[in-house]
């Protein structure tokens, strides 16, 4: 019997690539997004991928999508919490509503999906929770403070609940992509201000440099393969870096002063 995966944020980028790759590997795929009826993606060419509405900020839509997936395929074996976006720019220029939206989508929505699937996994004797975090959950870049806050939260939350869930054979996996060649720097990004305000000169330099790294980054298909490996694995391995090993190694080896000084110079030059 084929395993079933439910993926949030499947309309583009990593979520789309993961849905297509896991379908190719023989999984039943539930590709969820906020507007499945209007999104014209490659998923529409694959009839046996179940496309459902799921907005991580709407608990009812989470519950409904999970129930429909179980009714269709009998059970769910893995959840991929991928939905998210980046709120970028000077923190001083942010407002509380934008900050709340950032955390609701990237953290509280992920937690709600996780909370809703745990009883199902427990009753089935196991399952996998795959949380897409970021290298930005381990290191930081200028003007990404709010995004970093969410990804560091996902890292800590995931690491903690693995201890709680292990006795029920529920595995928790953290995916840590580095710069990725997706639409992340376009449709998956919002700004605290259009021009950076009083920080405009440094903000433009940092943003241009991050765009440069993004164009040189790994493909979403590479991340999708890592997500598949994590969801399929019987090991209790927690973290799965993708295209970020060099940065993470430097962060581990260098003291704060040297790492932040060198990294800040590269980003802001």
- Cα separations (Å) of 269 from 17, 91, 142, 203, 222? 33, 20, 12, 11, 29
- pLDDT level of residue 262 (50, 70, 90 thresholds): low
pLDDT digits (tens, 9 = 90+) for 97-124: 999 999 999 999 999 999 999 999 999 9
In Å, the largest CA–CA distance within the chain is 58
**Position 9 pLDDT exceeds 80:** yes
The third-level CATH classification (topology) of the domain covering 4-268 is Rossmann fold (3.40.50)
pLDDT digits (tens, 9 = 90+) for 241-255: 997 666 677 667 667
Percentages (nearest 5) of helix, strand, coil residues in the chain: 55, 15, 30
**Position 20 pLDDT exceeds 70:** yes
Return the closest-CA partner of residue 222 out of 246, 194, 247, 241.
241
User: What residues are annotated to the active site?
Assistant: 147
CA atoms within 13 A on the CB side of 31: 30
- How deeply is 203 buried, as exposed, middle or buried, from its count of CB atoms within 10 A (0-12, 13-18, 19+)? buried
pLDDT digits (tens, 9 = 90+) for 136-162: 888 888 899 999 999 999 999 999 999
- Cα separations (Å) of 48 from 24, 30, 45? 11, 9, 9
DSSP-based three-state secondary structure for 86? strand
Token pair 């991580």 is found at 56
What is the spatial distance between Cα 7 and Cα 82, in angstroms, rounded to a whole number?
A: 7
What is the spatial distance between Cα 41 and Cα 106, in angstroms, rounded to a whole number?
A: 23
CB 22 within 8 A of CB 224: yes
Percent of the chain scored above 70 by pLDDT? 86
pTM for this predicted structure = 0.90
CB 136 within 8 A of CB 176: no
CB 80 within 8 A of CB 132: yes
CB 105 within 8 A of CB 62: no
Domain residue spans of the chain = 4-268
Please state, rounded to an integer, the average pLDDT across all residues of the chain. 89
What is the per-residue pLDDT for 31? 97
Catalogue the E-assigned strands of the chain.
4-7, 28-33, 50-53, 78-81, 86-88, 127-132, 170-177, 189-191, 239-242
Return the closest-CA partner of residue 157 out of 132, 191, 190, 124.
132
**Position 259 pLDDT exceeds 80:** no
């Amino acid at each position: 019997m084929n395993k079933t995966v439910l993926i949030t944020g499947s309309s583009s980028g990593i979520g789309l690539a993961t849905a297509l790759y896991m379908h190719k590997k023989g999984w039943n795929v539930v590709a969820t997004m906020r507007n499945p009826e209007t999104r014209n993606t490659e998923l529409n060419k694959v009839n046996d991928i179940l496309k459902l509405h799921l907005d991580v900020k709407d608990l009812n839509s989470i519950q409904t999508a999970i129930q429909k997936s179980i009714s269709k395929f009998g059970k769910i074996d893995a959840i991929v919490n991928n939905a998210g976006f980046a709120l970028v720019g000077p923190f001083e220029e942010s407002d509380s509503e934008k900050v709340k939206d950032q955390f609701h989508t990237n953290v509280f929505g992920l937690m709600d999906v996780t909370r809703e699937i745990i009883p199902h996994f427990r009753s089935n004797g196991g399952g996998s929770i795959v949380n897409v975090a970021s290298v930005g959950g381990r290191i930081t870049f200028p003007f990404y403070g709010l995004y970093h806050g969410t990804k560091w939260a996902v890292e800590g939350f995931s690491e903690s609940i693995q201890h709680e869930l292990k006795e029920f054979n529920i595995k928790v996996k953290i995916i840590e992509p580095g710069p990725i060649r997706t639409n992340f720097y376009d449709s998956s990004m919002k700004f605290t201000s259009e021009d950076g305000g009083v920080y405009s000169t440094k903000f433009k330099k940092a943003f241009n440099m991050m765009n440069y790294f993004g164009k040189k980054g790994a493909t979403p298909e590479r991340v999708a393969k890592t997500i598949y490996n994590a969801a399929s694995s019987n090991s209790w391995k927690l973290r799965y870096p993708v295209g970020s090993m060099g940065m993470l190694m430097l962060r581990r080896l260098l003291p704060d002063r040297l790492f932040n000084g060198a990294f800040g110079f590269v980003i802001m030059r």
